[in-house]
Amino acid sequence: MHHAIEPSIHYWGTPVVLISTLNEDGSTNLAPMSSAWWLGWSCMLGLDASSKTTENLRRSGECVLNLPSDTMVEAVNGLALTTGSPAVPLHKKLLGYRHVSDKFEAAGLTPTPSMVVTPQRAHECPVQMEAVVEDIRPFAGGDPRMGVPAVCVEVRIVKVHVLSDILMAGHEHRIDPDQWHPLLMSFRELYGRGEKLQKSRLARGPEEAYAPWKHTGIKGLAGKALVAWSRHRYGGSEQPAGADTHS
């Protein structure tokens, strides 16, 4: 039997992300979050509007999305209830947050230079995605159940770094889902991913079918023409798939 309920939060289960952003003094802030989802080479982030991460994203327009594995619980817990803001917002004080200036030290992680953006990457994370901000706008402003002001931040990924251990054999650009074990958060608790239940019907076709910008020749032209037509027909940017000012 189903029951109508009113949960305090809706953390149904998403990957943990450690977001690197640039502080005013040129140092890198590192903050854990889990309200993130990806589509193509873009990602949507849900953040507290008062956070140091949001402040840094508004000012610099750059970040790194570091994805920890399920073996990195201690690092994530080392960042829990910390903020890079010297003046801790009142609602965070009530939740037990404290100011920490060196987030990498607090997490026991190693900062390493990025290739395209300025914020540093977290070396120990198996996946690191350098990204630039496309848009920041208020989120859930009309929701009376939203406890604090929030923003949604759209970022575009411009460079991806992964450990060779999680690449699929024979595919230099493809992740092996059997080797990638992300750290997940569900209702504030940390989990690892379980075993694959069965073969996905969606995964039967080639992964490259979702990336027409990877093809060359006639197949590439046809794919890009289809993308352009779809964007014209159903909305969205007119920028051709794969067009990027960063490399």
What tokens does 207 get?
A: 């992964």
Residue 210 lies in a domain: yes
Closest CA to 84 of 70, 72, 98: 98
What tokens does 200 get?
A: 């996905």
For the chain, how many structural domains are there in total?
Answer: 2
| pLDDT in the model for residue 224 | 76
Q: What does the mean pLDDT of the chain come to?
A: 89
Last residue of a domain, one of 196, 214, 239: 196
What tokens does 209 get?
A: 């079918």
Closest CA to 34 of 12, 56, 62: 12
Beta strands (DSSP E) in 49-149 are 62-67, 82-83, 98-99, 111-112, 121-122, 127-139
pLDDT level of residue 81 (50, 70, 90 thresholds): very high
| pLDDT in the model for residue 247 | 47
Residue 227 lies in a domain: yes
pLDDT level of residue 243 (50, 70, 90 thresholds): very low
| pLDDT in the model for residue 95 | 87
- Both 178 and 218 in one domain: the answer is no
Instruction: For residue 239, give its domain range.
Output: 205-247
What tokens does 130 get?
A: 């350098």
In whole angstroms, what is the distance from residue 18 CA to residue 136 CA? 19
Query: What pLDDT, in 10s, does the model give residues 21-74?
Result: 999 999 999 999 999 999 999 999 999 999 999 999 999 999 999 999 999 999
- Both 171 and 141 in one domain: the answer is yes
pLDDT level of residue 240 (50, 70, 90 thresholds): very low
- Sign of the dihedral through C-alpha 90, 94, 98, 103: negative
Query: What pLDDT, in 10s, does the model give residues 173-201?
Result: 999 999 999 999 999 899 999 887 777 76
Residue 153 lies in a domain: yes
Q: Using alpha carbons only, how large is the chain's radius of gyration in Å?
A: 19
Residue 3 lies in a domain: no
Closest CA to 114 of 220, 235, 20: 20
Whether the pLDDT of residue 239 is over 60: the answer is no
Query: What pLDDT, in 10s, does the model give residues 7-24?
Result: 888 888 899 999 999 999
Q: Which amino acid is at 1?
A: M
- Both 56 and 135 in one domain: the answer is yes
Which residues partner with 184 through β-bridges?
A: 15, 191
Structure pTM? 0.88
Closest CA to 15 of 49, 57, 66: 66
Q: Give me the count of residues in the chain.
A: 247
Whether the pLDDT of residue 204 is over 50: the answer is yes
Query: What pLDDT, in 10s, does the model give residues 138-173?
Result: 999 998 888 888 999 999 999 999 999 999 999 999
Whether the pLDDT of residue 216 is over 70: the answer is yes
